[in-house]
Amino acid sequence: MISVVSTAESAPRGTGTPEPSLYRRIRRLFTRDLLVSLALGQVLSLLICAIGLSSKFLAEDFHANTPVFQSFLNYILLFLVYTTTLAVRQGEGNLLAILKQRWWKYMILGLVDIEANYLVLKAYQYTTLSSVQLLDCFAIPVVLLLSWFFLLVRYKAVHFVGAGLCLLGIGCMVGADVLLGRQQGLGEQKLFGDLLVLGGATLYGISNVCEEFIVKNLSRVEFLGMMGLFGSFFSGIQLAIMEHKELLKVPWDWQIGLLYVGFSAFMFGLYSFMPVVMKRTSAASVNLSLLTADLYSLFCGLFLFHYKFSGLYLLSFFIIILGLVLYSSSSTYVAQDPRVYKQFRNSRPAGDPSPLSPGILEPSVTYTSLSPESGDELPVRVA
């Protein structure tokens, strides 16, 4: 007799048990895993804040507009650390073995990652800072859609509410920028700049979903090693074509050198640490966590660049954190391979009633939690 999961039915729950207190509900919500995931996401945000500040000093104080060169330095570091690690490995994880199997996939992914960085950095020359902050959030719906269709991730209503709150928090921050007149970066071709941001955000979303798939199914070192190999190659070509004249204009001294070293170190830390966080959570959760990076930059700007303060900044920060807590409070689900259902129907013994006969319950394709929650799973009846 073949046993399969036919239906998921709620077992009779104990009656008369008292409702948990508010303290217990809060303690159940703020689990250790949730707090660790939130903290790891904020470490990524702080790294992005440091990257933005060092890039701002290079561009505004020293007139070094070299986004491709800055990315090139990061890819070279990835190559030296992770690509060489793959080169000395044995077996299927060796660099040559990986290239034989899927070199063209990593080549495309490397190009996507390079151009995502370039488009967003380039957009600052044409559009406002507020527009970049707002339109850059387009990466979030891209990640959600791609995760739904390609990674088969299924979301609950609480996930959409949490993501909506995070976007609302960004809206409050942009509103504060407009009220305070922080319209930096406004150019004559604002529409062109906005399109650059949308293009970069879309490529970021594609890159993040691919990264999640690779680090959860293959390995973190393989992803970073391939990014170092193809990223340094293609960004080097782009650097030679587009920015060789800009490099000659840079007034090189120890301060500029220190800023480039700092930028490269922060960028390398971000690339190395993001797969660790993504393997623990997801691409969508990471992108939501990164929304606080702009707020950290603004708080630093209060002291470094004498920005005007607005209470909306604090409000937006708390709204984003609330959205992150809601999103992370419940696990997402991955739909089983549809072939499981097909195999079940084909393996039914001859003479058994048709699955569509009256009185016979049709089997349903179940979902598997990425991070199972205690008390969330309903008992199932096995036929």
Spatial distance between the Cα atoms of 30 and 37, rounded to a whole number of angstroms: 11
**Residues spanned by the domain of 226:** 33-337
The amino acid that residue 319 corresponds to is I
Residue 213 has which token pair? 């798939």
Contact 363, 347 (CB under 8 A): no
Contact 328, 158 (CB under 8 A): no
Q: Compute φ and ψ for 286, nearest 5 degrees.
A: -65, -45
- Specify the pTM: 0.77
| Residue 361, domain member (yes or no) | no
Residues of the chain with pLDDT under 50: 1-11, 185, 338-383
| Residue 7, domain member (yes or no) | no
| Residue 360, domain member (yes or no) | no
Spatial distance between the Cα atoms of 115 and 67, rounded to a whole number of angstroms: 11
Q: Report the pLDDT value the prediction gives residue 336, as an integer from 0 to 100.
A: 63
Contact 294, 307 (CB under 8 A): no
Residue 98 has which token pair? 């990986």
Burial (CB count within 10 angstroms: exposed 0-12, middle 13-18, buried 19+), residue 267: buried
Q: Compute φ and ψ for 6, nearest 5 degrees.
A: -95, -50
Nearest to 286 by CA among 160, 134, 144: 144
| Residue 358, domain member (yes or no) | no
Q: Report the pLDDT value the prediction gives residue 178, as an integer from 0 to 100.
A: 73
10 Å Cβ neighbour count for 97? 13
Q: Report the pLDDT value the prediction gives residue 353, as an integer from 0 to 100.
A: 45
The number of folded domains in the chain is 1
Give 313-372 pLDDT, tens digit per residue: 888 889 988 988 888 888 887 776 544 434 434 444 444 444 444 444 444 433 333 343
> Which residues share a beta bridge with 369?
333
Distance from first CA to last CA of the chain, Å, rounded? 9
Residue 323 has which token pair? 């959205």
Spatial distance between the Cα atoms of 78 and 339, rounded to a whole number of angstroms: 39
Q: Report the pLDDT value the prediction gives residue 240, as an integer from 0 to 100.
A: 92
Contact 38, 328 (CB under 8 A): yes
| Residue 214, domain member (yes or no) | yes
Q: Give, in order, the Cα–Cα distances in Å from 124 to each of 47, 129, 211, 246, 295.
A: 20, 7, 26, 17, 18
Give 88-121 pLDDT, tens digit per residue: 998 888 999 999 999 999 999 999 999 998 888 7
Helix locations, the chain, DSSP H:
22-29, 32-56, 67-78, 84-87, 95-123, 129-135, 139-150, 157-180, 190-217, 220-242, 244-249, 254-280, 283-289, 292-304, 311-328, 338-346
| Residue 355, domain member (yes or no) | no
10 Å Cβ neighbour count for 57? 18
Q: Report the pLDDT value the prediction gives residue 246, as an integer from 0 to 100.
A: 87
Q: Compute φ and ψ for 7, nearest 5 degrees.
A: -145, 160
| Residue 15, domain member (yes or no) | no
> Which residues share a beta bridge with 381?
7
Q: Report the pLDDT value the prediction gives residue 314, as an integer from 0 to 100.
A: 84
The amino acid that residue 256 corresponds to is I
Can you spell out the DSSP letters for 120-149? Answer: HHHHTTTS-HHHHHHHGGGHHHHHHHHHHH
| Residue 132, domain member (yes or no) | yes
10 Å Cβ neighbour count for 225? 25
